[in-house]
């Protein structure tokens, strides 16, 4: 039983990280209807930039802080570039073309990041303690083993979600953003500048990517495979709904837990490695019963 | 400009509904066929066959198949690699398990297996739409990636999981030289392109397009969404399955489990989008473009006299590839087919602008 | 006007239809008889449930209670495909043409149910498939001729002006050779000349093919001219049903609708 | 034009030639009609069958020798067959202009004692039913298109298909009937009565014989080398002698294919599809086409415009010479070849004229620029001269000898005399037999020695080409005895793309003054390009800038006139721009769009007076008929421009 809880908690914690990436997707999809496949590439790019800047700035008084600031600035520039070079010229194009364009962005960022910063595996150490913690020893025999970095990551991710929620609910920009998500034309007609909103969302998505990159990077090392966690986040999206922040979080937890549990309890029977596809199958199966995802909006076809 | 349509009037519906009702178009297509079947074989180098012509024709077939699904029926799929894999592994298994079968027939069986899988994974399309469906098709992609690398039976328990095959031999005729392989692929492509055109200009094609453009209205007219969508999945995956078998047997010869991964899915989708959704010729142009682009990018630095490490070249290449994709989409989101259509329109109206 | 066109027996009956969306009643206890060969207009203010009613008739919406009786067969709900096979065609309030296709192909899709050639022949576009294409093209051309849209037959519908699109949509519905034609605001957004043309076509359809027509329209002049009978809806309830003259003089109708609108 | 096998001269009546064709070239296409999206075709033998059935059906209904049958509608195969069917019974077909209003039809129907009418559709049926009470003889109305006629219960109506079925039955029962009727027809019988539009009086029925048409067709075929591989698009009114000659008689005699457009809106599209080898259009059609070409080219990109300009320069220089078979230098030929690939060929293709072997224009003078344009891009456009009374067969320009200011040389068999006042007298195989029931008019029109008075004034030049100046009766004189040829002046004005119509006054006056109608498309376009806003026709016509523009045109005409000694005195002194377009519906133009000068000077008397009393402007109110039949009034105060002042401030615009 303790083992089950341990696996479950491990899964949930991985799930939080999926949620974080999925969150980036949701933000952009909500505000601009773009299915942003480049979210994974943004994670890699942000993490690469961050880790390499620390190395370059290691002799300064605060290499981590400085790097963080510069990386954040770079993500803002990236958001502006995307708005200017991709979204604006392609306004009113079909969703599929925009999706393809984000694939282009993904290719570009992957290539650009690795050209600029190299393609080795870089360890990222920003002082997160890594000792495992033994929890709930009183409840289960042998307790539950949890990595403290995972715990911290979970807390950080949770904090980020709260911050974003406040940002959306309480700030003017956040409200404008929700208006845009509801109806582009209406928002534009009451004077909400669409282009500005896009820059804001892409910046926020970039920051989320940076956080995800730092957490994953410090856990696994910063390397190309970070780019692929975008693929992990996709089933989370179908499960939670493309337009729901809450859905992204809960979906992430379900997928994270389900993936780990299935790998442990189901994997041995079919040769292992099922975490590659289990999440997708789970999401697909789920979709058959609820086509719009857990928290997605139901659209009634008006004819 | 060279379109001289005056006097090309139609006295029967059959003539009016021909694939190429304009005489000049018929001449063009004949010239292209002549180039493909006669001129290229005479002048192309072995490298050209191996690196360009064979992959372009096979990928052209895959793009044709995907275009049926995405361009004509409006169902976005990211599982092209999976369907190709199914086609390839099915053909392989038919060949090694029933050796007396004609290899070409095995390719067809491979295609039919892909059709079956396509119909199965098309079922979600009855419930879900748009990007939800696109992501759902990824399920198949990851599942096949996993299945073909972990389930030994598919690879006939080869220890490494990779497969090597003999050149295809049909009735004692071996497709073992690049030229022969090219002829085989081009012939298959030509036949399938004709079939695809025939389908899309008939009842089924109209049912697909109606479903794509306005599914509620299509249903009210009497088009069953299930029939339209599943038939699109079936035809599309048949084409893609055959392309997969050809890719494995004719182009690769030996392949690793991940030869048909998500990157293949993406590149075929690129071909379709950049070539032009809902256009037969667009898919072919897209296939040529996406195949040639990396080759050219790869050659470019050395051609310009730069000495760059291979890793860097690789990174630069995908970076420029990504940028070019964005550029093309921004300039003409409807792809080459649209460009060609505009050009043709202009030529027909020449010297008038409209 | 109607010449020797005879209005026949009830062909379609709605009994006690109720329909609600998330607790809001779109239609409450609606009962309507549609008689063969008649032109029945459904009028009412915006949100009265007119389009919902058409959607119930051809099965897009499923009523929560009540029944639909069509040609003697009673069922709780229609299904779009059944409605189509049994001869119910319709047009839409917001044009629902297939934007990527030409006028010709749009109307050809209307004949889908009448085409039978198998997959194999379609792949080859030979034999049965080709003959069928030609045979149905001829029918479609007759419709094109009927609606006088010869000069645009190969134009993609997306490029056409609004009035012509409406006409093409009517053509697509006619291609199915329906027994009942449901027209959802066929003249919305048209100028006077276009309205006259459309009225002419609707009368001609009714006249030449004997098609029963149920139409929703806001233009009172058109409704009074065209229809044999008028049904008035208000907030999902039927408040009037009779000849144009009867409805015009019905006090409840005047209060609820005519009085407000003018 | 290369060697062409010219068919041997044919003889007999027109329907008998049809029967011959069915035998000789039965499987060749006789006639096509664009209907239901494709060109429905009938071979000569099918056409002959249709004619036989229709004839038998008509006979069944009581059509016999000596009766007249009206034909009303756009060019349709069934209506062409109606000609042959009635002729084979010895009855005489009388085609009417399909856009005539009911009252105009009433006169002709009564004058020609019409008992049978074959009409196209509901529109014509409605008109006939309207006047039926006043046309006592009219008994049978056959309609081709049943659309909208389902509930008409008039006993006079019969569907063409039903009539044809009836005839088919009769033909089956008495197979020799048709042949025996046909054999009774004689070449010298009247084959058709064509009503002239009549600029001044009521229309007159011109009786023409089979022999006239067959001889004329033979003459034309010999002259231009028509054969049975040709194509013609029949879009001009069936009641007009030209269409009857080209699309009916010549098609029968030469055996070429007649193509009927889908509708009057689609003529240009249908022209493009068919690509006729033989084409006739009045100058106004050619002018409209050129205007459209010019307007469309103005929207073209820089490169295309440059190409167009450059190569049109080349064409202008060498094209007419190449067309006339004169020698052109190697470089010129190469440049023309290049131009042909990039500009002229595509242009001809877009105009639907790249298969044309011979194109004719006539009925009015054609502008020199216009004429040169078509010839320079390789279209063999020529002029012809003739009247209904001469079956449009007097003069034609021979290939290679096309001179802009002449109408060509007399056709084979035609004798021409120039009488006093320059009036042209013609004797030819195609001369009318008589005016229907109007011996007086016949007497007037023919001289004692059998020449027809054309009423046109003209003279032969040194090469033996005939030049037309004006209508003989219109040639007048100013008070100082200067010759005043109004049509001559008006034509010169109308050659400018900005001027649609012009009416000149001067006979018995001290000077020449003019009314001008602007060409809305061209002037509107010009105004847009020059940033000139306007709210409509009347507003645009009254703009000072537009007056300047037209003033320049007038100044050019005056400059031209100054070159010719005898005409120098008739320079235009004052003009005004009319506030409405002259319209046939208001009786200001004839149906063939000729100005009715007398009527106009009466109707707009106030304006004419104002032109001559020196005032600067004039108020006018005019009754007009709208297209839907309603009438109303429009009024405006028109400016009058004095040419002495206007010539000074010429600015931009006219080339």
Instruction: Report the pLDDT averaged over residues D448-458.
Output: 90
Distance (Å, whole) CA A104 – CA B215? 30
Cβ-based contacts under 8 A for chains A and C: 9
Shortest Cα distance, chain C CAs vs residue D463, angstroms: 48
Judged against a pLDDT cut of 80, whether residue D146 lies above it is answered with yes
Tell me how far CA of residue A65 lies from CA of A62, A122, A130, A299, D511, in angstroms: 6, 18, 21, 45, 97
Q: Is the CB of residue D561 less than 8 Å from the CB of residue D512?
A: no
Q: Cβ separation of B220 and C84 shorter than 8 Å?
A: yes
Predicted local distance difference test score (pLDDT) of residue D627:
66
- The whole-chain average pLDDT of chain B stands at 92
Kindly state whether D38 is in contact with chain B, defined as any CB-CB distance less than 8 angstroms.
Answer: yes
Identify which of A8, A16, A6, A5 has the alpha carbon closest to the alpha carbon of residue A229.
A16
Q: Cβ separation of B353 and D304 shorter than 8 Å?
A: yes
Mutation target among A21, A25, A238, A303 for the B interface, most CBs of B within 10 A? A238
Instruction: Tell me if B108 is assigned to some domain.
Output: yes
Q: How many folded domains does chain D comprise?
A: 2
Predicted local distance difference test score (pLDDT) of residue A131:
73
Identify which of A63, A296, A53, A26 has the alpha carbon closest to the alpha carbon of residue A168.
A26
Predicted local distance difference test score (pLDDT) of residue A151:
81
Instruction: Tell me if B219 is assigned to some domain.
Output: yes
Q: How many folded domains does chain B comprise?
A: 1
Judged against a pLDDT cut of 90, whether residue D538 lies above it is answered with no
Instruction: Report the pLDDT averaged over residues D537-560.
Output: 90
Predicted local distance difference test score (pLDDT) of residue A1:
65
Q: Is the CB of residue D338 less than 8 Å from the CB of residue D259?
A: no
DSSP SS3 for D631: strand
Shortest Cα distance, chain B CAs vs residue C184, angstroms: 13
Predicted local distance difference test score (pLDDT) of residue D2:
39
Q: Which residues of chain C neighbour D262 with C-beta distances below 8 Å?
A: 150
Judged against a pLDDT cut of 60, whether residue D6 lies above it is answered with no
Out of B3, B6, B16, closest to residue D38 by CB = B16
Q: Which residues of chain B neighbour D274 with C-beta distances below 8 Å?
A: 6-7, 9
Q: Looking at A220-229, B46-55, D427-436, which range is the least confident one?
A: A220-229
HSE-up (13 A, CA, CB side) for residue B164: 2
Q: How do residues C8-32 score in pLDDT, each as one tens digit?
A: 899 999 999 999 887 788 899 999 9
Identify which of C50, D347, D291, C112 has the alpha carbon closest to the alpha carbon of residue B228.
C112
Kindly state whether D265 is in contact with chain C, defined as any CB-CB distance less than 8 angstroms.
Answer: yes
Using only the alpha carbons of chain C, give its radius of gyration.
Answer: 19
Give the pLDDT band (50/70/90) at residue D564: low
Give chain A's end-to-end CA distance (angstroms, integer): 54
Touching B: which chains, 3+ CB pairs < 8 A? Answer: A, C, D
Q: Say what the alpha-carbon torsion angle C240, C241, C242, C247 is, to the nearest 10 degrees.
A: 20
* Residues of chain C above pLDDT 70, percent: 96
Q: Cβ separation of C207 and D37 shorter than 8 Å?
A: no
Distance (Å, whole) CA D572 – CA D489? 9
Predicted local distance difference test score (pLDDT) of residue C262:
41
Identify which of D81, D21, D31, D48 has the alpha carbon closest to the alpha carbon of residue D259.
D31
Chains B and A contact (Cβ–Cβ under 8 Å for 3 or more pairs): yes
Tell me how far CA of residue B227 lies from CA of B69, B211, C121, C124, D646, in angstroms: 13, 10, 17, 20, 76
Higher pLDDT, B272 or A92: B272
Q: How do residues C44-89 score in pLDDT, each as one tens digit?
A: 888 788 999 999 999 989 999 999 999 989 998 888 999 999 999 9
Give the tokens for residue B242. 């055959």
The dihedrals phi and psi of A133, each to the nearest 5 degrees, come to -115, 145
Number of neighbours of residue D453 by Cβ within 10 angstroms: 16
Give the pLDDT band (50/70/90) at residue D8: low
| Pairing of β D617-625 and β C24-35 | unpaired
Q: Is the CB of residue A103 less than 8 Å from the CB of residue B325?
A: yes
Tell me how far CA of residue A104 lies from CA of B206, B330, C113, in angstroms: 32, 11, 42
Distance (Å, whole) CA D149 – CA D538? 41
Q: Say what the alpha-carbon torsion angle D461, D465, D467, D472 is, to the nearest 10 degrees.
A: 100
Predicted local distance difference test score (pLDDT) of residue C46:
81
- Which DSSP category does D9 fall into? P
Instruction: Tell me if B140 is assigned to some domain.
Output: yes
Instruction: Report the pLDDT averaged over residues A90-112.
Output: 87
* Residues of chain D above pLDDT 90, percent: 63
Instruction: Tell me if D463 is assigned to some domain.
Output: no
Q: Structural domain of residue B135, as residue ranges?
A: 46-261
Give the pLDDT band (50/70/90) at residue C1: very low
Positive or negative, the CA dihedral A221, A225, A229, A232 is: negative
Higher pLDDT, B125 or B89: B89
Instruction: Report the pLDDT averaged over residues C137-147.
Output: 95
Judged against a pLDDT cut of 70, whether residue D210 lies above it is answered with yes
Give the pLDDT band (50/70/90) at residue A259: confident
Out of B13, B352, B353, closest to residue D38 by CB = B13
Out of C80, C85, C122, closest to residue B203 by CB = C122
Instruction: Report the pLDDT averaged over residues B283-299.
Output: 90
Chains C and B contact (Cβ–Cβ under 8 Å for 3 or more pairs): yes
Instruction: Tell me if D48 is assigned to some domain.
Output: yes
Instruction: Tell me if D290 is assigned to some domain.
Output: no
| Pairing of β D114-119 and β D140-143 | parallel
Judged against a pLDDT cut of 70, whether residue D116 lies above it is answered with yes
CATH number at residue D597: 3.30.300.30
Instruction: Report the pLDDT averaged over residues A77-88.
Output: 91
* Residues of chain C above pLDDT 90, percent: 68
- The whole-chain average pLDDT of chain D stands at 89
Q: Which residues of chain B neighbour D293 with C-beta distances below 8 Å?
A: 352
CATH number at residue D108: 3.40.50.980
Q: Which residues of chain B neighbour D342 with C-beta distances below 8 Å?
A: 1, 351
Q: Looking at A287-291, B103-107, B152-156, B171-175, which range is the least confident one?
A: A287-291
Q: Cβ separation of C92 and A300 shorter than 8 Å?
A: no
Judged against a pLDDT cut of 60, whether residue C259 lies above it is answered with no
Kindly state whether B338 is in contact with chain C, defined as any CB-CB distance less than 8 angstroms.
Answer: no
Judged against a pLDDT cut of 80, whether residue B168 lies above it is answered with yes
Burial-class residue B159 by CB neighbours within 10 Å (0-12, 13-18, 19+): exposed
- The whole-chain average pLDDT of chain C stands at 90
Chains A and C contact (Cβ–Cβ under 8 Å for 3 or more pairs): yes
- Tell me the three-class secondary structure of C50-84, residue by residue: HHHHHHHHCCCCCCCEEEEEECCEEECCCCHHHHH
* Residues of chain A above pLDDT 90, percent: 17
Instruction: Tell me if B250 is assigned to some domain.
Output: yes
Judged against a pLDDT cut of 50, whether residue A196 lies above it is answered with yes
Q: Cβ separation of C134 and B13 shorter than 8 Å?
A: yes
Q: What is the largest CA-CA distance in chain B?
A: 67
Predicted local distance difference test score (pLDDT) of residue C173:
96
Q: Which residues of chain D neighbour C3 with C-beta distances below 8 Å?
A: 150-151
Q: Which residue shows structure tokens 């020798």?
A: D65
Predicted local distance difference test score (pLDDT) of residue D508:
85
Q: How do residues B89-113 score in pLDDT, each as one tens digit?
A: 999 999 999 988 999 999 999 999 9
Distance (Å, whole) CA C175 – CA C154? 17
Instruction: Tell me if B346 is assigned to some domain.
Output: no
For residue D272, the chain B residue with the least C-alpha distance is B6
Tell me how far CA of residue D177 lies from CA of D83, D89, D166, D180, D189, in angstroms: 18, 10, 14, 5, 20
Cα angle vertex A122, ends A121, A124, to 5°?
Answer: 140
Shortest Cα distance, chain C CAs vs residue B16, angstroms: 10
Positive or negative, the CA dihedral D203, D206, D207, D209 is: negative
Give the pLDDT band (50/70/90) at residue D33: very high
Tell me how far CA of residue D578 lies from CA of B8, C258, D621, in angstroms: 44, 48, 11
Q: Structural domain of residue D561, as residue ranges?
A: 476-646
Give the pLDDT band (50/70/90) at residue D646: very low
Instruction: Report the pLDDT averaged over residues B211-234.
Output: 94
Alpha helices in D340-432 (DSSP H): 345-351, 368-376
Instruction: Report the pLDDT averaged over residues A213-224.
Output: 84
Touching D: which chains, 3+ CB pairs < 8 A? Answer: B, C
Give the pLDDT band (50/70/90) at residue D406: confident
HSE-up (13 A, CA, CB side) for residue D251: 33
Across B266-298, b (16+ Cβ under 10 Å) vs e yields bbbbbbbbbbbbbbbbbbbbbbbbbbebeeebe
Predicted local distance difference test score (pLDDT) of residue D655:
35
Element spanning B293, H or E? helix B280-303
Instruction: Tell me if D54 is assigned to some domain.
Output: yes
pTM value is: 0.86
DSSP SS3 for A43: helix
Q: Is the CB of residue B127 less than 8 Å from the CB of residue A291?
A: yes
Predicted local distance difference test score (pLDDT) of residue D168:
96
Shortest Cα distance, chain B CAs vs residue C88, angstroms: 9
Q: Is the CB of residue B81 less than 8 Å from the CB of residue B261?
A: yes
Say which CATH class C1-87+178-262 falls into. alpha beta
Predicted local distance difference test score (pLDDT) of residue C55:
92
Domains of chain A, start order: 2-289 (1.10.3470)
Out of A103, A242, A288, closest to residue B325 by CB = A103
Q: How do residues C150-191 score in pLDDT, each as one tens digit?
A: 889 999 999 999 999 999 999 999 999 999 999 999 998 888
Element spanning B143, H or E? helix B130-150
Distance (Å, whole) CA A210 – CA A231? 17
Chains D and B contact (Cβ–Cβ under 8 Å for 3 or more pairs): yes
Q: Which residues of chain C neighbour B220 with C-beta distances below 8 Å?
A: 58, 60, 80, 83-84, 89-90
Predicted local distance difference test score (pLDDT) of residue D61:
95
Give the pLDDT band (50/70/90) at residue D653: very low
């Amino acid at each position: 039983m303790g083992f089950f809880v341990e696996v479950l908690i491990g899964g949930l914690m991985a799930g939080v990280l999926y949620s974080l990436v999925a969150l980036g997707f949701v933000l952009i999809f909500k505000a601009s209807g773009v299915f942003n496949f480049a979210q994974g590439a943004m994670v890699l790019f942000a993490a690469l930039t961050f880790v390499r800047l620390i190395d370059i700035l290691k002799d300064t008084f605060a290499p981590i802080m400085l790097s963080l600031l510069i990386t954040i600035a770079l993500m803002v520039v990236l958001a502006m570039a995307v708005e200017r070079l991709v979204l604006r010229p392609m306004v009113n194009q079909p969703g599929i073309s925009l999706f393809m364009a984000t694939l282009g962005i993904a290719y570009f960022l992957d290539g650009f990041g690795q050209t600029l910063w190299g393609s080795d595996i870089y360890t990222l150490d920003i002082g997160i303690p890594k000792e495992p913690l033994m929890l709930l020893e009183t409840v289960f025999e042998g307790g539950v083993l949890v990595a403290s970095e995972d715990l911290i990551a979970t807390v950080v991710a949770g904090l980020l979600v709260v911050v974003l929620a406040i940002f959306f609910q309480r700030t003017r920009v956040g409200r404008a953003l929700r208006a845009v998500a509801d109806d582009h034309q209406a928002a534009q007609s009451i004077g909400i500048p669409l282009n500005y909103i896009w820059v804001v969302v892409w910046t926020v998505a970039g920051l989320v990517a940076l956080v995800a990159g730092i957490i994953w990077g410090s856990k696994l090392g910063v390397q190309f495979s970070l780019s692929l966690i975008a693929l992990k986040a996709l089933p989370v999206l179908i499960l939670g709904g493309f337009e729901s922040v809450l859905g992204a979080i809960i979906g992430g937890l379900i997928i994270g837990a389900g993936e780990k549990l299935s790998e442990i309890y189901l994997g041995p029977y079919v040769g292992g490695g099922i975490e590659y596809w289990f999440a997708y199958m789970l999401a697909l199966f789920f979709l058959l019963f609820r086509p719009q995802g857990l928290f997605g909006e139901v659209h009634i076809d008006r004819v | 400009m060279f379109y001289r349509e005056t006097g090309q009037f139609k006295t029967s519906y059959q003539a009016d509904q021909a694939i190429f009702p304009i005489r000049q178009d018929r001449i063009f297509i004949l010239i292209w066929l002549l180039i493909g079947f006669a001129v290229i074989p005479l002048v192309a180098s072995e490298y050209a066959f191996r690196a360009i012509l064979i992959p372009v024709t096979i990928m052209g077939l895959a793009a044709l198949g995907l275009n049926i699904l995405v361009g004509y029926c409006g169902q976005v799929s990211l599982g092209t690699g999976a369907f190709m894999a199914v086609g390839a592994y099915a053909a392989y298994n038919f060949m090694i398990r029933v050796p007396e079968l004609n290899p070409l027939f095995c390719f067809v069986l491979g295609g039919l297996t892909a059709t079956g899988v396509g119909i199965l994974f098309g079922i979600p399309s009855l419930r879900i739409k748009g990007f939800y469906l696109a992501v759902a098709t990824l399920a198949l992609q990851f599942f096949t990636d996993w299945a073909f690398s972990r389930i030994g039976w598919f690879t006939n328990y080869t220890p490494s999981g990779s497969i090597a095959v003999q050149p295809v031999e049909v009735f004692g005729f071996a497709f073992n030289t690049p030229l022969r392989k090219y002829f085989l692929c081009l012939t298959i492509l030509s036949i399938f392109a004709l079939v695809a055109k025939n389908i899309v200009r008939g009842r089924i094609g109209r049912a697909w397009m109606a479903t794509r453009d306005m599914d509620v209205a299509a249903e009210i007219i009497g088009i069953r969404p299930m029939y339209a969508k599943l038939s699109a999945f079936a035809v599309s995956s048949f084409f893609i399955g055959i392309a997969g078998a050809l890719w494995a047997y004719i182009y690769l010869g030996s392949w690793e489990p991940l030869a048909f991964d998500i990157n293949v899915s993406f590149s075929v989708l690129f071909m379709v989008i950049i070539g032009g959704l809902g256009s037969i010729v667009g898919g072919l142009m897209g296939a040529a473009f996406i195949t040639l682009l990396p080759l050219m990018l790869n050659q470019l630095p050395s051609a310009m006299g730069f000495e760059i490490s291979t890793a860097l070249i690789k990174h630069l290449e995908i970076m420029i590839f990504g940028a070019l994709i964005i550029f093309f989409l921004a300039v003409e989101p409807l792809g080459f087919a649209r460009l060609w259509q505009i050009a043709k329109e202009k030529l027909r109206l020449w010297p008038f602008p409209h | 006007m109607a010449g020797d066109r005879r209005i026949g027996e009830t062909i379609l009956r709605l009994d006690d239809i109720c329909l609600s969306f998330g607790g809001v009643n779109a239609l409450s206890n609606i009962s309507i008889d549609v008689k063969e060969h008649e032109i029945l207009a459904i009028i009412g203010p915006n949100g009265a449930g007119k389009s919902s009613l058409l959607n119930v008739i051809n099965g897009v919406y499923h009523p929560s209670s009540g029944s639909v009786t069509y040609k003697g067969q009673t069922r709780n709900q229609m299904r779009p495909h059944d409605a189509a096979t049994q001869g119910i065609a319709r047009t839409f309030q917001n044009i629902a043409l297939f934007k990527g296709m030409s006028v010709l192909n749009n109307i050809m899709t209307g004949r889908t149910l009448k085409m039978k050639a198998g997959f194999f022949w379609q792949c080859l576009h030979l034999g049965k498939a080709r003959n069928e294409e030609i045979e149905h093209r001829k029918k479609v051309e007759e419709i094109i001729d009927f609606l006088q849209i010869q000069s645009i037959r190969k134009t993609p519908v997306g490029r056409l002006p609004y009035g012509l699109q409406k006409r093409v949509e009517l053509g697509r519905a006619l291609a199915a050779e329906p027994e009942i034609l449901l027209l959802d605001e066929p003249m919305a957004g048209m100028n006077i000349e276009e309205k006259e043309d459309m009225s002419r076509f609707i009368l001609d359809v009714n006249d030449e093919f004997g098609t029963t027509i149920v139409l929703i329209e806001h233009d009172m002049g058109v409704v009074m001219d065209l229809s044999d009978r008028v049904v008035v809806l208000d907030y999902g309830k039927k408040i009037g049903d009779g000849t144009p003259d009867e409805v015009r003089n019905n006090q409840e109708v005047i209060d609820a609708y005519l009085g407000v609108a003018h | 034009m290369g060697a062409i096998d010219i068919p041997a001269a044919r003889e007999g009546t027109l329907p008998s030639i049809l029967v011959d064709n069915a035998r000789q070239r039965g499987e060749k296409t006789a006639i096509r009609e664009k209907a239901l999206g494709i060109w429905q075709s009938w071979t000569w033998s099918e056409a002959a069958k249709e004619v036989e059935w229709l004839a038998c059906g008509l006979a069944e209904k009581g059509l016999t020798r000596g009766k007249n049958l009206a034909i009303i509608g756009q060019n349709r195969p069934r209506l062409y067959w109606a000609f042959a069917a009635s002729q084979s019974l010895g009855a005489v077909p009388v085609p009417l202009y399909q856009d005539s209003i009911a009252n105009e039809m009433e006169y002709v129907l009564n004058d020609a004692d019409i008992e049978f009418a074959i009409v196209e559709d509901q529109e014509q049926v409605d008109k006939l039913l309207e006047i039926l009470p006043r046309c006592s003889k009219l008994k049978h109305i056959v309609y081709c298109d049943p659309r909208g006629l389902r509930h008409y219960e008039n006993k006079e109506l019969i569907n063409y298909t039903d009539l044809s079925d009836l005839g088919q039955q009769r033909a089956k029962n008495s197979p020799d009937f048709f042949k025996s009727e046909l054999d009774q027809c004689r070449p010298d019988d009247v084959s058709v009565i064509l009503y002239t539009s009549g600029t001044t009086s009521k229309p007159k029925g011109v009786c023409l014989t089979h022999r006239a048409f067959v001889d004329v067709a033979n003459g034309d075929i010999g002259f231009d080398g028509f054969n049975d591989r040709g194509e013609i698009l029949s879009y001009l009114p069936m009641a007009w002698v030209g269409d009857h000659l080209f699309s009916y008689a010549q098609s029968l005699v030469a055996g070429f294919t007649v193509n009927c457009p889908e509708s009057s809106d689609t003529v240009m599209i249908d022209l493009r599809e068919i690509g006729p080898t033989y084409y006739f259009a009045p100058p106004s059609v050619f002018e409209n086409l050129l205007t459209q070409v010019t307007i469309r080219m103005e929207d073209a990109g820089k490169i295309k415009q440059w190409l167009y300009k450059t190569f049109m320069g080349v064409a202008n220089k060498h094209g007419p010479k190449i067309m006339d078979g004169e020698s052109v230098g190697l470089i010129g030929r190469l440049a023309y070849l290049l131009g042909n690939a990039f500009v002229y060929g595509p242009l001809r293709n877009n105009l639907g004229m790249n298969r044309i072997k011979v194109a004719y224009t006539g009925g009015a003078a054609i502008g020199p620029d216009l004429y040169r344009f078509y010839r320079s891009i390789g279209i063999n456009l020529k002029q012809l001269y003739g009247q209904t009374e001469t079956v449009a067969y007097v003069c034609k320009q021979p290939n290679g000898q096309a001179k802009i200011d002449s109408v060509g040389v007399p056709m084979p068999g035609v004798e021409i005399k120039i009488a006093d006042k320059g009036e042209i007298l013609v004797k030819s195989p195609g001369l009318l037999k008589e005016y229907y029931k109007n011996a007086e008019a016949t007497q007037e029109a023919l001289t004692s020695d059998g020449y027809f008075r054309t009423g046109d004034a003209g003279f032969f030049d040194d090469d033996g080409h005939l030049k037309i100046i004006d209508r003989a009766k219109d040639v007048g004189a100013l008070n100082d005895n200067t010759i005043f040829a109004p049509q001559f002046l008006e034509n010169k004005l109308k050659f400018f793309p900005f001027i649609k119509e012009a009416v000149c006054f001067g006979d018995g006056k001290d000077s020449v003054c003019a009314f001008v109608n602007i060409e809305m498309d061209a002037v509107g376009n010009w105004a847009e390009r020059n940033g000139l806003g306007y709210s409509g026709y009347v507003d645009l016509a009254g703009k000072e800038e537009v007056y300047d523009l037209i003033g320049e045109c007038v100044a050019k005409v005056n400059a031209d006139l100054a070159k010719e000694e005898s005409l120098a005195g008739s320079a235009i002194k004052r003009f005004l721009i009319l506030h409405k377009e002259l319209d046939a519906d208001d009786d200001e133009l004839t149906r063939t769009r000729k100005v009715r000068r007398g009527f106009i000077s009466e109707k707009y008397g106030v304006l004419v007076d104002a032109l001559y009393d020196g005032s600067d402007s004039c108020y006018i109110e005019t009754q007009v008929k709208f297209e839907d039949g309603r009438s109303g009034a429009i009024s405006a105060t028109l400016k009058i421009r004095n040419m002495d002042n206007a010539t000074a401030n010429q600015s931009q615009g006219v080339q």
